[in-house]
Every structure is written in C-alpha cells, then in structure tokens.
Chain A
Amino acid sequence: MCWYLLKRVVSSAVVLGSVSLATYALVLITPGDPAETILRERLNSQPSDQEVSQFRAEHGLEEPFHVQYANWLGNAVSGDLGQSYFHGRAVRELIAAHLPATIELAVAAMIVALVISVPAGIVSAVYRQTSLDYISQAGALFGVSVPNFWFGYLLIILVALPLNAIPTSGAGSAAHLVLPAVTLGTGLAAVITRLLRASLLETLEEPYVRTARSKGLYERVVVYRHALRSALIPVVTVIGLQFAYVLNGAVIVEAVFNRPGLGTLLVDAVFARDYPVVQGVVLVTAVLFVVTNFLVDLSYRYLDPRIDLEASA
C-alpha cells in the first residue's frame, strides 16, 4: 500500500508539473509580446515603451522563461498563485471566490444524474429488450446528443419564463441551482445510464450470478446483492472520470446561466488575456482532477476486494 501511495504521489506530481509547464509555455508561443498585447487591449491604443517595461517589471516578465516559471511554481507550491493582471486581486482570492459556485453545481448535477441514471440503468439491464429498456436507451441517446448550451436555454424557454419564479442567471440560492444542475445532470445521466446498463448486463452473465440463481435466491437478491455491486465498479470509475465532463460542462453551463463559477472566471480570463488567472484556474482544475482520480482508485478496493492496487499501479 505504501509503495502504491508513493507511486501515485510521484505520478500526480508529474501530471501537475506538466500541466503547469504546458499552460505556462502556451503564453510564450502566443504571437507577439504578451505585455504589449495586454496593454494594447487595455488602453485601446499602442502602449509606450515605458508602459510596457513598467508592466513587465510589475509582473516579473523581464526574467527569462525558466526563472519566471520556477518562481511561479515555487510560489504556487506555497499557495501563492500571483496577482491578476486586471482585477488587482490575488489569483488565489479570485479562485476561492468562484470555486464554491462550481462545486455546488458539480455536486447538484451529480445528484440529478444519479437519481435518473441508477434506476434507468438497472431497469434497462434487468428488463432488457423490453419497451422499458428501449425507452431508457432512447432517452440516454438523446441525452448524449443534445448540446447542453441549447438545453439550458430550452429549459429557460419552457420552464423558467412561463413560471416566472425560477431565476435564470446568477448564483447564491438553491433556486439558482435548479436549472444549471438539471442541464448538466441530464447529460451526465445519459452517459452513466449507458454504462451501468452495459456493465450490469455483463455481470448478470457471470458464473457466480448463475450460481446465486441456481441456489434459488430471489431475482431481486441476485440483482441487488450479487450483481449490482460489481457492476458498480466501472460506474464509479466513470463517475470519477465524469468529473472531467462536469468541469467541461460547467464552463458552458455557467456561461448559459451567467453563474459566477470557475468556468466563467476562466472564460473571462482567457478573453482578457489575464494569464495568471488562466494558469491558476488550470492548475486548480488539475489538482481537483488528480485528487478525484485517486479517490476513485481507492474506492475500487472497497467495492471489489479482488482488485490489487499494487499490481495495477
């Protein structure tokens, strides 16, 4: 276990290092001098040489790339992600202010997704090739095909505008969360339903399930106690990996509902060329990601004691 943990920590550090280096390097390959580009967009005219060099000095941009990166990385490790070029605030503060709205959205969307997909997936597999299965599969197919930015607006048009009671933009209350969570959650539900169905169908063919049936156990016991548990393993992986989907989706869903989350912060920072914020958000995303993946791996062991983490690491 110890060896496994050590391996994981090292590989996580490598991932985080390469993410940060990649985002940092990206700024370098941008056409033109970043300081000049940013100032030109800010002032709406060509900045003077003095303004450019002052901006560079302020943000430590006159150092060579590797020094800049090393400084940034050193500070990042101790929790300091630098200053935003625009907001006049620390990147860490900005992220701390925007993160809760995204976490709320992610959790609420995941709940919506599980409430829909777990029953749908089980029914689909147990009653396979019946009309129930076809309905659930058709629903899932639509769920993965409909773009979430349009679905969000469709919910506003069909639900929020006629009812006139649900807020369609902003964040802060549970009511603000309803539409974004449903928008993001239904897409997620579709993916999980498909996966749970496939996985449960496979498990129901396993010899130990046949054994359980031939012992004369109730079908209910066979499905829920014997098959579902191992069918859940790939589902847990997907839920973990769907965290990526949630973050991808959050970027778009937050834009639809003007929700002040991490996605909105990133999109605005990208357009404003606020590189410290972009680098900070990407790093935080990567950290969230590495941590989720790690938790997913640990949960395998709990769900299926046959899995040997040492061997798979």
Chain B
Amino acid sequence: MNTLSDPGRFESIRRSNLLTALRNNPASLAGGIVIALVTLVAIAGPVLVGDPNAGALSNRLQPPSMAHPLGTDPLGRDVLSRLVYGARITLAMAVSITLIRLIIGFVVGLLAGLFGGLVDEVLMRVVDFLLAFPGIVLALVIAGILGPSLRNVLLALVVVGWGSYARVVRSSVLSVREEPFVDAAKLAGVSRIRLVWTHFVPNVAGPVVVLSTLDLGGVVLAAAGLSFLGLGAQPPTPEWGTMVADGSDYLRSAPWLVNVPGVAIAVVVLGFNLLGDGLRDSLDTDPTRVNR
C-alpha cells in the first residue's frame, strides 16, 4: 500500500485516534461518561432543582429525606440544589483555568521553541521557577493579596500553572523543527506564519490535549482547596470547597454537609483523571515525562 498516494491518511489517523482511544479504553470511557453526566447536570441544573439560596431557619440541619434528598444546611438551604449549582462553578472554573493556562503556555512554548537563544533562555527560567515552586502556596498568596473572590482564584491558578504547557509545547516544537517536512515547506517558500499554523500547531496539539485533560483534575482540586481556605467563592455562592468548609462545624450532627460536596469533588476529579490517563495510554504520549 502506497501511503504517499493518500494525503488524507495522516489527518484521518489523528482524528480517529482520539475516538478509538476512548472506545478501546474502558477506564477513559468511564471517565468520559462521568464528566458528560456532570456537565449535563450542570447545564440542566435550574430545571432539576430549586433555588440554591432559598431556605428557612426552621428547616435547618435536616437529615436526608424525600423533600431534601441530601439534607439541609445550617441556614435551612437544600444541599442538593447547592450541589447542582456548585457543579456549574466547578466545571466553569476548571475549564476556563485550564484553557487560559493552555493558551499562555502554547504561545510561550511556541515562542521559546521557534526563536531559541535569549528568548528561550529567559522564558524557560521563568517556567523552571513556576514548576519548582509549590503552586498552592504561591496561588494562595496571589489570591489572598488581591482579595478573596473566584476571579482572583482563577487569576492566581492561571499564573502559577501555565509552565508545564510551555515546556511540553517547546519540546514538541524543537522535535518538529528537525523534521524533513519543515525543510521541505521552507524550500517550497511557505511563509513563516503559515508554516507555524500548518506544521507546528497540529503536531504539538496531541500532547497538549493529553496534558490539559490530566491537568483538569488537579485544577478542580486546587480551586476547591483555595475556596475551602476562604479565598474563593464568598457566601452565599454554592461552591463545593466552601460547602465543605461551612459544613466542618457540624461533623457530628450533620456529616452529610462535608460528605456530599466532598464526594462530588472526588467524583469529578476521578472522572478527569480516568479520561486523562486513558488518553495518555492510548495516544502513547506522556507529556508529563518530557525531558527537562
């Protein structure tokens, strides 16, 4: 079979890889289903449950019942409603933080890899620093000094977390640069911008997709952790980490207040991790093991 006669071959392999990766790996399929369900719940939230902030003190700290399947909190609010609305915040934060990290890392990695020299040296020292330093500690300080809010948690987690993307993109760029098709394209007179778009970006995309899927779980944990410490969502926002913190005064009398949001966070993180592990194994790229 003459592969050269079929120019669409490479493209089709790349696309089907993602799908077969999911199909052939039951674990990543399970992860995908979990995330899809949580997303569905988050989108359909207002249809499924009532107002997350409505409650009467007369109704406080009720154990799970038919009226309140997951019980009520110290202000008499329905825990299930708060959980469902919290899913929106968790997913929105995780996806936007990861996406912005990815974009910044992509641009920095591309610049470092393509230009080399001093640009590369300076950018990679910044990356080394970010990867070396305990992220939560740094994010805590940034978010804390800027003032507690979800926006500042997002900002802080973006600032501390784009380094690994930059490193992965840079090392992919360096290996693609050596490929004969790049020389061929240059000889054919392809412009620099077009060269980057058509040859570098698609080849770097695979590892970056895997990395961001693996990253999502950690982002959920970090964002919920910072909110748990009081730096993120402010009352009455139904955020899962904040819900755990608020419930911690009632461990004996109302353990569901920490267990419900705790399990929810664990399930979402597990879903992202299963998906990421599966993609990494099937696509056989491990961006976390790129040489330093």
Contact = CB atoms under 8 A, between A and B. Distances in A.
B115 interface: no
Contacts of B137: 247-248, 251, 266, 282, 285
Contacts of A157: 251, 255, 258-259
Interface in B119-159: 125, 129, 132-138, 140-142, 144-147
A271 interface: yes
Nearest 6 interchain pairs by C-beta: A150-B262, A270-B144, A248-B136, A244-B134, A145-B270, A145-B269
A249 B140 CA distance: 12
A161 B135 contact: no
Contact of A154 (B140, B225, B241, B262): B262
Contacts of B241: 147, 149
A146 B244 contact: no
Q: Which range holds the interface residue count of chain A?
A: 35 or more
A18 interface: yes
Contact of B129 (A15, A30, A245): A15
Contact of A141 (B141, B252, B273): B273
Interface in A148-167: 148-151, 153-154, 156-157, 161
B217 interface: yes
B274 interface: yes
Interface of B: 125, 129, 132-138, 140-142, 144-147, 217, 221, 224-225, 228-231, 241, 244-245, 247-248, 251-252, 255, 258-259, 261-263, 265-266, 269-270, 273-274, 277
Overall SS of chain B's interface: helix
A282 B265 contact: no
Contact of B134 (A154, A248, A255): A248
A115 interface: no
A116 interface: no
Interface in A127-185: 141-142, 144-151, 153-154, 156-157, 161
12 contacts: A18-B129, A26-B141, A141-B274, A148-B225, A149-B224, A149-B225, A149-B262, A150-B258, A151-B262, A248-B136, A270-B145, A289-B132
Given A147-B269, A149-B228, A161 B251 contact: yes
Contacts of A150: 244, 258-259, 261-263, 265-266
Contacts of B270: 141-142, 145
Contact of A156 (B231, B251, B277): B251
Given A270-B141, A271-B230, A147 B258 contact: no
A18 B130 CA distance: 11
Contact of A23 (B141, B147, B225, B230): B141
Count chain A CB atoms within 10 A of each CB in B125, B230, B247, B248 and give the residue with the most: B248
Given A149-B228, A150-B244, A285-B134, A144 B217 contact: yes
A266 B229 CA distance: 11
Contacts of A244: 132-135
A101 to B, nearest CB: 16
A92 to B, nearest CB: 19
Contacts of A149: 224-225, 228, 241, 244-245, 262
A68 interface: no
